[in-house]
Structure 1
Amino acid sequence: MNKLLKYFLLLLTACFLVYCQANKPKESKQAVAVAENKVLPSEKIDFTTSPVISPQQSIQMMQVEDGFEVKLVAAEPLISAPVALSFDGKGRIWVVEMNGYMPDTVGTGEDIPSGKIVILEDSNNDGMADNRKVFLDSLVLPRAMCLIEDGILVAEPPRLWYYPINNDQPGKKVLVDDKYTEGGNVEHQPNGLYRAMDNWIYNAKSTKRYRKRGNTWEIDRTHFRGQWGISQDNYGRLYYNTNSENLLGDYFTPGLGATNTNQRSVAGYVKKIVADNKVYPARPTPGVNRGYMKGVLNDSLQLVDFTAACGPLVYRGELFGPAYASNVFVAEPSANLIKRNILAEQGYVVNGNQAYRNKEFLRSLDERFRPVNLHNAPDGALYIVDMYRGIIQHKTYLTTYLKKEIGLRQLTQPLTSGRIYKVVPKGKKAKLSRLPEDATGLVKLLAHENGWIRDYAQQKLIDGRLTEAIPALRQALQEKNKPLLVMHALWTLEGLGALTTEEVRGLLQEKVWPMRMQALSVLPSVLTKTSYTQYLPVLTQMLEQKDTLAAPYVAFLAHYIQPFDPSAADQLLAKATKTYPNNSYVADAVISNLEGRESVFLSQITASVPDTSVAIYKQLQRVTAYIENKQASRNPEILKKQFPKGVAMFTTICQTCHGQDGNGVASLGPPLNQSEWVTGDKEKLISIVLYGLTGPVEVKGHLYKAPEINGDMPGIGYNKDLSDEDVAQLLSFIRKSWRNDAAPVKAEEVVKTREKLKGRQKAFTVEELNKI
C-alpha cells in the first residue's frame, strides 16, 4: 500500500510539473539571452516587451565606445530610484532617492514622503558599494543636494534645507529658502545645487544662487539656466540644457550680468553651445511622449532628436585621456543613451559638435535604462545615475499615446529599482580612496589633473577655514606655468577672505587670458571703498588697449564700482560704448548696469555714437520697449482674486516656459503677452492648451521655432485631475493678464471643445488650427 501511495504521489508530481511547464509565461528572446549572459543582435530582439533584468544583464545590453567598459557600482536593493549623487572625502557616495516619482500613469501617491538621502560605502574595496546607511528619510520628491562645510543642503520642494551632519546623522535642520521652488511641477522645478569655482551654489531651472558665510546664507539673483542638471568647465563657466536641446552654456563666468531685471537676456549667457540635437538610439523607442507626431520617430521607430536631454556633464577627469578632456556628455533617458560632444573655443565664444554620427558614446537595448544624471568623480571615472524606471514622463504632460505604450510593455512596475554605473577605459583602474584633509595636502591637490579633486580641495580648505594654508596659496599664485593651480588658489583665497589688491592687480595684467578672466571675475568680491581706485586704471587701460576679451567683463564690473563712485562707473560705461558700439556682448554688459536709467543713457550716447543702427542702440531699444510693456500691464493682485485657480495653474504649468511676465523664455516658449493666439479665437486657444501645439508658430509677426523656443508645447487635456473649470480659469487669466484684454473663457466652452475633439491623440499644427 505504501509503495502504491508513493508511486501515485510521484506520478501526480510529474503531471503537475508538466502542467506548469506547459502553462509557463513565455519569456522574451532578450530575457532568455541575458539570463544566459549572451548578447543578441538588435534585429533578433523582441522589442514588444521590456522585461526587468539584473544590472549585470543590463550592462550586457549596453553598447559603449571602443576602449571603454561599464562597471556596476550599486543597485537595488541597496538603492532605489536614484536621481543625483555626490562624493565625500572618504570616497562614499551620497544619493538622492526620489521614490515617489510617478508610481503610476496618474501619479497616485506622489505626495507620500518616501524620498531619502542615503550613504553608500564600499567596505571591502572591490569597487562596488555594499553598505547602505539612511541619512534622511520621509522626504517628498527630494531632487538635489550639496555637501558643504559640516552639513548638507537638501532640496525638497518648495523649500531648501541645511542639515548639520553629526556622525552621519542629521542635526536640527535650518531653512535656507522657503521659495527654492516657486511654481512648476516636478519636471519643471530648480535642481542641481552645483557648487562652482566662484564658491557660489548654482541651480538649473532657477534665477537664484546661494552662498554660506559663517552661519548666514546669502541668496543672490543670477541668470535663468536650463532644466535638469548643471555642470562647469575648468574655468568655472556653466553648462546646462533643456529637454529638447543638446547643450546650452555661458561664455562668461556665472556671477556677472544678471543685475538689470528689465533685461530679459544678456548676450553671452544661455547660448546654444551644440546646435545638433540628433540622437541615435540602439533600439526602437516608441515610448516617448510625442511618438505619434510626424518626424519624432524615424522609419525604425527610433527617436530622431532629443526629447529628454538632461544631466549634462563637462568631463574633467584624467582617466579618459586628452582626447576626452572637457568633452560634454549628455544623458537622454527616453532614448536610453549618453551622448558625447566635443567643444572648441575661439575668444570667449564656445561651440561644439557631436563626437559621432549614427552612434553614441553609450546606448542600451534595455528600455528601462534611464540615465538621469552624470557625475565626475574622485577616481576619474564617469558615473551614471540610472533611475531604472519605466515611466519618466510626469503626469502633467503624459499623452494618451504614451500611456498606451506604457501599458503595452508593462512599464509601470517595479518602483524599487535603481543603479549606479561607472564608465572606465579598459585596462585602467578607477578606485575611490580617502583624500587628505590637512592644509598642506589639500593645497597640493589644487594642481591635480582631476577637476573633481581640485574642486574638492578648494572647497575643503574654505569649509574648514584652514587659514594656515594662506602662505602656500600665495605661493601657488606665483606658479604661472600652472594656470589651473593659479585659478583655484585665487578662488580659495577669495573664499578665505584673504585676497590682496596687489595679487589681483598682478593677475589682471597677465598675458594668459584665462588668468586675466579669473582676476576680472573675482573683482566683485574684493572691490571696496578704498581699493576700487587701484583697479580703475587697469580696467580703463584694458578698454584703451582694446582688450576685446576683457571688454564685456569691464562693462559688467562697472556695476560694482557704482556704489563707491557713480561718476567713475559711468565713465567706464561710456568708454566701453564708444570703443565697442557694435559689439553685442559689450552692449548687453553695459545695459546690465542701467536698471531704471536706460532711456537717459540712450539719449546721452548720441554724441559719442552717432550711428543709431549699431548694437548698443538696438539692444537698448529692446529693453525700453519691454519696460513700456511692463508698465502697461494689468494689476496681478486683482487677477489673483478673480481667477485663483487660473493663477495657480499658470504658476505650476505655464510660467516656466512662458515667463512670469508672459513675455516668453529663451529656448523654451514664445510670448503670451499680446499674442494673437491668446487674445484671438477662443476655440483655437482651448485646443492648443488641451492638446498642445507643434511649431513653428508666428507671434506678433515673429516666427518662433527651435532652437529659439522648444519646438513643441505639450497639452494638458490628458491630465484627468484638471477640470473644465480649472482650464477655463487658466485661459481667462492669461487672456486678461499683462497687456492682454480679451473676454474670459467659460467652462462650457471648454466642454464643447473637448467634445468636438474627443479621441484626438496628437498636438495641433498651425495649419490645422487655421482651419478651425
Structure 2
Amino acid sequence: MSYLQQPNRKSKWRKGLLLCSVLCISSLFYQCKNDEMSAEASLKKMEVEKGFEVKLAASEPLVSAPVAMTFDDRGRMWVVEMNGFMPDTLGTGEDAPSGKIVILEDTDHDGVADNRKIFLDSLQLPRAICLIENGALVAEPPYLWYYEIKGDKAGKKTLVDSTYADDGNVEHQPNGLLRAMDNWIYNAKSSTRYRKVGDQWKKESTHFRGQWGVSQDNSGRLYYNHNSANILGDYFTPGLGSQNPNQKEIAGYNVAVVPDNRVYPAHATPGVNRGYMEGILDSNQRLVNFTAACGPLIYRGNLFGEAYVQNGFVAEPSANLIKRNILKQEDGYIVSGEQAYQGKEFLSSVDERFRPVNLNDGPDGALYVLDMYRGIIQHKTYLTPYLKNEIKERNLTLPLVCGRIYRIVPEGANPVMKTMPQDPQQLVAALADPNGWIRDKAQQMLIDRKNKDVVPALQKALGSSNKLQAVHALWTLEGLHELTTEEVLAAVKSDSWAIRMQGLSVIPSVINKQNSGAYIAALNEKALIGDKRAAPYIGFLVQFIQPLNPKAASDLTQALIKLYANDKYVAGAIVSNLKDKEAAFHTELLKKYPDTNLAINTQLAKVALNKANELLNKDPKVIEARYPKGVLIYKSTCQTCHGPDGNGIKSLAPPLNKSEWVNGNKDKLIPIVLFGLTGPVPVNGHLYTKPEIMADMPGIGATEEFHDKDIAELLNYIRNSWQNKAYKVTESEVTAIRNLYKGRDKAFTVEELSRIN
C-alpha cells in the first residue's frame, strides 16, 4: 500500500504540509533578505586544500535539500531531495510527502546545471537512488521501489522490498544503494543486498554496515562509517562470510580502517548536539572529534593526481568540513589509513549552514559534494535542549529551500562532463579508463543491455595488461552469465594477486555440481592454499562447496586449520561455515589442537557461547505482545545501535542483554534513557570504549514524541527481553527522575551514576 493510500495518515501530513509550506515561504523571504546565504557567498567562506578549487554545479532554486545522487550515462545528475527533514525543532511536517527525485542537466556545458526535471515527487523522506537497466531504484521508507523510466518520467512502479527501512528513524534507516563491482546493490545501516535478475529481484543477507553512505575501492571492497567514526571498511569481498548469525564479529569486516577521529573545524562550532559536554569542544569551542561523519567516498577519479587515488574522503556537516584520509594496502588484503594532515582539513567552511551530507565521484573525475544547506541537521528524537537553544539563538531553523551541489577540481581546471559511448566495443575499451566512475558505468551498461555479442571482446579483455580492465571484464562476464570455468580458474591461478583475489571472489556465482571438482582441485593446490592472502577466501568458499561435496569441504577446512590455526582471519572464515555446529566442532578440534589460545579455538568458543546464550532467550513474540509501544520505540530509536537481539553492534553500542545497567537499579537506568550516557561503560566485566563503541548514547527525554508512560514501557520491554529479568518501571518513577534532574542538559557519566544508591 502506498503512502497516499493510507487514510489514517492523511490528516497528519496535510496539517504538516500546510505548516511546512508556511515555513518554506518564510524561508524564501528570509533567504532573499540575506544575501550572505547565497551559494556565491557560501563559496567565499570555504577554504580548500592548496592546488584545488570548489565550483558550483547546482544551487537553489534548481535543487533543494539534496541528500543523495547518481549520474546517468549522459552526465546528468539524478538528485534525491529530502525537503521534509526537520522543518523546525519539533520536526513539524516531517511526514509530509514533499520529497522529490529530480534530474539536473548542464545544457550549455559551462559546468553548472541549468535545467531541472522532476522525475518523481510526493515522496516521504526519500533517501537513496540507483539507476539500473531502464529504471531507478528509489528508497522511500519503509519501501524500496523500482520505477521504469519513460522519457525522464516515472513509469510502472514495482515494490522490491516492503521492509527496506522498516525500523529506525530518519537518521538510522538504510540508504546508499551502491551498485558495486560484484553486480549486487549494497546499503549502509543495513545487512541486505539486492540484485535484479530478469524481471525478478533477489534479496540476500550480508554483513551489517555503517550509518549514512557507502563506497567501494578499485577491488570492490566496501567502506562506510557511523557518525562518530572516520572510515570503517571490509578487507574482503562483501558477499562472503555472513552466513553464520552466531558469529557476531568476524575479523576483516567492519574494521576501523582509519581509527583517528579528530577533526579541525575552521570556526567555533558550539551548535553540535552534545556541545555542553566536556571533551566535545576544545578551548576555542571547536568540535574535537567526529559527531556527524557521513557520506564516505573512496576517490577513484583520475583528475586529482596519483597521490589522491583511492584516498578516503568523509563529510562532517556538524563542523562544516570534509576530511581527507590516505589508505594503504598491506599483506594483500589488510587496509590501513591515516589522516592526510594534522591541524587542518581538505575543505572547511566558516558558514555553519554548509552541510555536506554526501560525496560522489563524477564522470569528469571531479569530487562532488552534496550540501543540504540548512541549520538543523539533528533529528528531533535526539535533539538536546542545549542544541534547541543554539538553534533558537542563531535562528538556524531557516532557510529551508536551499541546497547546493559543488564539484572540487584542481585549481584552474575545467573538466568537461563526459558522456558514455553507446557502442558496445567502446564500452569494453572504457573498462580500462583511469576514472573509476567510467569503468563502473561501462560495466553496468554492458550488463543492463544484455548484449552477448560483446562477449568475445570481454574475454579478450580478461588478458589485458591493464589489471583494472581485466577485473571489470571478469565481473561484466559474470553479470552477463557468460563466465566460464576455464576463465575463472585462469584468474585464480594468475600471477597477479589483484586478479587472483577477484577469481576467488567470483567462484560463488559460478560453482555448481558439474564444475565443482575443478574448483576444489584448484583450491587444494599447494601454491594457492599456501598463500596467506588467499587462505581466508578459501575458508569462505567452503560454504559453497559443502552442499556439493561435503567431504571435500571438510578436507579443505582441516587443511586450512593445519596451516593457519592461529590466523584470526582464517578462523573467522572457517567459523562462518559452522552455523549451529560450533560446539561439536570445537570439542573434536581440541583433541587435535588442545591449545585454547589458538585463534581458531578462541573464535569457536566465543561463537558457541553466543549460540548457547541465544537458546536461553525468552520468546520475543510473548514480550512484544506485552509491551507493544515499547517494541515500537526500541525499533525506532535503540535497535539500530544495540541490535535486534540486544547484544549490541560492533563500533556502535554495547549489549543490553544481561547488562547490569538494564537489570539493576532503576534510578540509574532511567537517567541514562532520559539524558544519555557518555564515555567508557563497563558491561558484564568488559569496559566498552571508543572505537569499540561510539561511547556516546543520546537520551530521548527531550523529544516530545515520547511521554513518560511510553519511556516506562520501553524500559519494561528492555528489562524483560532476551535473558533480562527485572522489576517493573512505572510512569511515575520516570516522571520523578525527570523532575529530580530538571534543567539538566547533559548526558551522565558512569562516575556520576555510580554515586546513585
TM bracket (short chain): over 0.9
Aligned to 2:417: 432
Aligned to 2:300: 316
The amino acid that maps onto 1:88 is: D
Aligned to 1:639: 623
Aligned to 2:278: 294
Aligned to 2:205: 221
Structure 1 residue 543, shift from structure 2 partner: 7.3
Matching of residues 528-539 of structure 1 within 5 Å:
528-539=512-523
Aligned to 2:504: 520
Structure 2: distance between partners of 1:413 and 1:545: 61
Aligned to 1:144: 128
Q: For 1:419-453, what per-residue CA distance to the aligned partner results, in whole angstroms no more than 9, with x for missing partners?
A: 00000001222121321122111001000000000
Structure 2: distance between partners of 1:708 and 1:413: 37
Structure 1 residue 570, shift from structure 2 partner: 1.4
The amino acid that maps onto 1:212 is: K
Q: For 1:144-198, what per-residue CA distance to the aligned partner results, in whole angstroms no more than 9, with x for missing partners?
A: 0100000000000001000000111111210000010131000000000000000
Aligned to 2:27: none
Matching of residues 33-72 of structure 1 within 5 Å:
53-72=37-56
Q: Secondary structure at the match of 1:173?
A: strand
The amino acid that maps onto 2:412 is: G
Q: Secondary structure at the match of 1:582?
A: coil
Structure 1: distance between partners of 2:35 and 2:267: 14
Task: Report whether the alignment pairs 1:188 with 2:168.
Answer: no
Structure 1 residue 609, shift from structure 2 partner: 2.1
Matching of residues 318-717 of structure 1 within 5 Å:
318-347=302-331, 348-479=333-464, 481-542=465-526, 546-717=530-701
The amino acid that maps onto 1:438 is: D
Contact 1:50 1:367 in 2 (8 A): no
Structure 1 residue 52, shift from structure 2 partner: 5.2
In structure 2, relative to structure 1, the CA distance for the partners of 1:599 and 1:543 (3 Å cut) is farther
In structure 2, relative to structure 1, the CA distance for the partners of 1:669 and 1:231 (3 Å cut) is same
Q: For 1:27-75, what per-residue CA distance to the aligned partner results, in whole angstroms no more than 9, with x for missing partners?
A: xxxxxxx99xxxxxxxxxxxxx998511111111100000100000100
The amino acid that maps onto 1:351 is: S
The amino acid that maps onto 1:446 is: L
Structure 1: distance between partners of 2:621 and 2:159: 27
In structure 2, relative to structure 1, the CA distance for the partners of 1:266 and 1:330 (3 Å cut) is same
Q: For 1:515-540, what per-residue CA distance to the aligned partner results, in whole angstroms no more than 9, with x for missing partners?
A: 10000000000101100100111101
Q: What RMSD, in angstroms, separates the aligned Cα atoms of the two structures?
A: 1.3
Q: For 1:565-598, what per-residue CA distance to the aligned partner results, in whole angstroms no more than 9, with x for missing partners?
A: 1111111111111211000000010000011211
In structure 2, relative to structure 1, the CA distance for the partners of 1:542 and 1:82 (3 Å cut) is farther
The amino acid that maps onto 1:255 is: G
Tell which deviates more after alignment, 539-548 or 234-243. Answer: 539-548
Structure 2: distance between partners of 1:769 and 1:666: 24
Structure 2: distance between partners of 1:52 and 1:267: 49
Structure 2: distance between partners of 1:634 and 1:376: 47
Same amino acid, percent of matched pairs: 59
Aligned to 2:20: none
Q: Secondary structure at the match of 1:456?
A: helix
Q: Secondary structure at the match of 1:171?
A: strand
Task: Report whether the alignment pairs 1:135 with 2:116.
Answer: no
Pick the aligned partner of 1:84 from 45, 62, 68.
68
Structure 2: distance between partners of 1:53 and 1:296: 27
Contact 1:50 1:409 in 2 (8 A): no
Q: Secondary structure at the match of 2:548?
A: coil
Structure 2: distance between partners of 1:328 and 1:545: 32
Structure 1 residue 612, shift from structure 2 partner: 2.2
Structure 1 residue 544, shift from structure 2 partner: 7.0
Aligned to 1:116: 100
Contact 1:193 1:202 in 2 (8 A): yes
Q: Secondary structure at the match of 1:605?
A: helix
Contact 1:204 1:227 in 2 (8 A): yes
Aligned to 2:28: none
Aligned to 2:4: none
Structure 2: distance between partners of 1:382 and 1:388: 18
Q: Secondary structure at the match of 1:606?
A: helix
Matching of residues 174-185 of structure 1 within 5 Å:
174-185=158-169
Structure 1 residue 599, shift from structure 2 partner: 1.5
Q: Secondary structure at the match of 1:172?
A: strand
Q: For 1:185-236, what per-residue CA distance to the aligned partner results, in whole angstroms no more than 9, with x for missing partners?
A: 0000000000000000000000000000000100011100000000000000
Structure 1 residue 542, shift from structure 2 partner: 4.8
Structure 2: distance between partners of 1:275 and 1:595: 31
Contact 2:522 2:528 in 1 (8 A): no
Structure 2: distance between partners of 1:644 and 1:334: 35
Contact 1:338 1:363 in 2 (8 A): yes
Q: TM-score, normalised by structure 1?
A: 0.93
Structure 1 residue 660, shift from structure 2 partner: 0.6
Q: TM-score, normalised by structure 2?
A: 0.95
Structure 1: distance between partners of 2:462 and 2:192: 31
Contact 1:679 1:742 in 2 (8 A): yes
Tell which deviates more after alignment, 608-617 or 84-93. Answer: 608-617
Q: Secondary structure at the match of 2:748?
A: coil
Is there any run of 5+ residues in structure 2 with no aligned partner, and where?
A: 1-30
Structure 2: distance between partners of 1:543 and 1:707: 37
Contact 1:340 1:355 in 2 (8 A): yes
Structure 2: distance between partners of 1:272 and 1:51: 42
Structure 1: distance between partners of 2:731 and 2:580: 42
Contact 1:50 1:366 in 2 (8 A): no
Task: Report whether the alignment pairs 1:255 with 2:239.
Answer: yes
In structure 2, relative to structure 1, the CA distance for the partners of 1:116 and 1:512 (3 Å cut) is same
Structure 2: distance between partners of 1:74 and 1:254: 34
Structure 1: distance between partners of 2:608 and 2:538: 23
Q: For 1:688-715, what per-residue CA distance to the aligned partner results, in whole angstroms no more than 9, with x for missing partners?
A: 0000000200000000001000010000
Aligned to 2:724: 740
Q: For 1:250-294, what per-residue CA distance to the aligned partner results, in whole angstroms no more than 9, with x for missing partners?
A: 001111001111111111000000011000000100000000000
Contact 1:578 1:609 in 2 (8 A): no
Structure 1 residue 111, shift from structure 2 partner: 0.2
Contact 1:310 1:372 in 2 (8 A): yes
Contact 2:303 2:410 in 1 (8 A): yes
Q: Secondary structure at the match of 1:432?
A: coil
The amino acid that maps onto 2:96 is: I
Contact 2:580 2:611 in 1 (8 A): no
